[in-house]
Amino acid sequence: MALPRVGILADDRLQQHLLKTALVHFGFDVVLSTDPERLPELGAELRLDAWVVDIRHEDDENLHWLDNLLDGDIPVLIGLEKAPQKTCPTFPKWEKKLYSKLLELTQVTPLLAENSQALEQLPGQQNPRIPLPASLAGQDFSQQVASCVWVLGASLGGPEAVKAFLDALPAGLPVAFVYAQHIDPRFEQSLCKTIGRHAAYSLKNFRAGEPLRCGEVLVAPIQHEFCFDDKGLPQTLGTDWPGPYGPSIDQVILNISRSYGHKAGYILFSGMGNDGAEALATLTDPDVPVWVQTPATCGNSSMPESAIATRRVNYIGDPYQLALQLVNRVKHSWIQNHESIAH
């Protein structure tokens, strides 16, 4: 599938760079990024799906090129807000607004989500399963409603990473997961079967009112937003996810945070785009774990890199390392709480 082709015309070099970085992260092919003064040299055979124009130093006498551009056949996106610094909490929102406006203008969607072929080609179990810590042996949490919930967020390249992570986890941990994966809605049901093929955890599709128990992985619905009510039961809100794609990892994080607070954790895996980064920047408790897959091990590293740019991430590892980190965290938390009760 060919990537949507975009040309950037900006008279500020930093703005050029930020626009290009954002568009590449969202799956666009940036054919050129240059100053508008170079436009006459470029010719007309660029075969673009859209122009993105950002002018900071207006000079009405020298804007005839813009009139020609607007009169042409290629859609033009103009009037963008200046990009904040990449470390600014509002940067992910600016990126997402740019993406949404470009989608609306061009009606050409980059490949952000997984398809059936990617699911069919998922490898078998790659690493030996991590042993269950001795402190948790003999405990049975399987019928308990989960009080500790981890969000697993992923997009393009994510299913393989998430499968490797879940395959490595031992049965018997007192945790549950909400898995938010950008995927073609036609393959939502098959996601459970393929990701859970070798895992010790039970993957299930969303059903309103059905409690999330320890040892379960709830696959977030693609079409409609959901949350947990004050009894800890998942409820559909009957509305589409906010933003340009579903499920919105940002919104899943916000909804889980409201329900579980410091008993939640968040892991972002391979993915194109920046979904999740905006919500992570709102998590003010430094003790709440925010982990990402090592960018070098990702099929697409944009999503973890966007999260890292928020300066909120406190652990980076490949899928197996992330699983090992989780097992160790649960073990230490159990020992600490158990000892404090015993004393």
Q: What is the pLDDT along the chain (343 residues), one digit of tens a residue?
A: 567 889 999 988 899 999 998 898 888 889 999 888 777 666 556 788 899 999 877 665 667 778 888 888 889 999 888 888 887 888 888 988 898 888 888 876 666 566 666 677 787 778 899 999 999 998 999 889 999 999 999 998 899 999 999 999 999 999 999 999 988 777 888 888 889 888 999 999 999 999 999 999 999 999 899 999 988 899 999 899 987 778 999 999 999 999 999 999 999 999 988 999 999 999 989 999 999 999 999 999 999 999 999 999 999 999 999 999 999 999 999 988 876 544 4
- Do the domain assignments include residue 73? yes
Q: Are residues 187 and 50 in the same domain?
A: no
Residue 230: CB partners within 8 Å, gap ≥ 6?
A: none
The Cα 341–Cα 330 span in angstroms is 16
The tokens for 264 are 């939640």
User: Residue 275 catalytic?
Assistant: yes
Q: Where are the alpha helices (DSSP H) in 208-290?
A: 249-260, 277-280
Residue 40: per-residue pLDDT? 61
Residue 59: per-residue pLDDT? 62
Q: Are residues 192 and 338 in the same domain?
A: yes
Q: Are residues 126 and 19 in the same domain?
A: no
**CA 317-225-244 angle, 5° bins:** 70
State the catalytic residue, choosing from 49, 54, 250, 275: 275
Tell the residue number behind the tokens 């006498």, with chain if given: 61
Indicate the number of domains in the chain. Answer: 2
Q: Are residues 92 and 135 in the same domain?
A: no
Residue 266: per-residue pLDDT? 98
The Cα 55–Cα 69 span in angstroms is 14
The Cα 43–Cα 81 span in angstroms is 28
CATH number assigned to the domain comprising residue 101: 3.40.50.2300
Residue 51: per-residue pLDDT? 93
The Cα 153–Cα 181 span in angstroms is 6
Which of 40, 73, 106 is at the close of a domain?
106
The tokens for 155 are 């997009």
Q: Are residues 51 and 189 in the same domain?
A: no
State the catalytic residue, choosing from 182, 248, 250, 306: 182
Q: Are residues 60 and 88 in the same domain?
A: yes
State the catalytic residue, choosing from 25, 49, 54, 155: 155
- Do the domain assignments include residue 256? yes
CA distance readout (Å), 109 to 18, 21, 29, 113, 192: 20, 17, 12, 10, 26
- Do the domain assignments include residue 111? no
Assign residue 254 a region (left: φ > 0; alpha: ψ between -120 and 50; beta: otherwise).
Answer: alpha
- Do the domain assignments include residue 206? yes
Q: Are residues 230 and 185 in the same domain?
A: yes
The answer to whether the beta carbons of residues 280 and 315 sit under 8 Å apart is no
- Do the domain assignments include residue 164? yes
Which of 73, 106, 139 is at the close of a domain?
106
Which of 65, 82, 106 is at the close of a domain?
106
CATH number assigned to the domain comprising residue 166: 3.40.50.180
Range of the domain at 20: 5-106
- Do the domain assignments include residue 163? yes
Q: Are residues 94 and 18 in the same domain?
A: yes
Residue 264: per-residue pLDDT? 97
Q: Are residues 95 and 212 in the same domain?
A: no
Q: Which of 296, 263, 301 is nearest to 145 (CA)?
A: 263
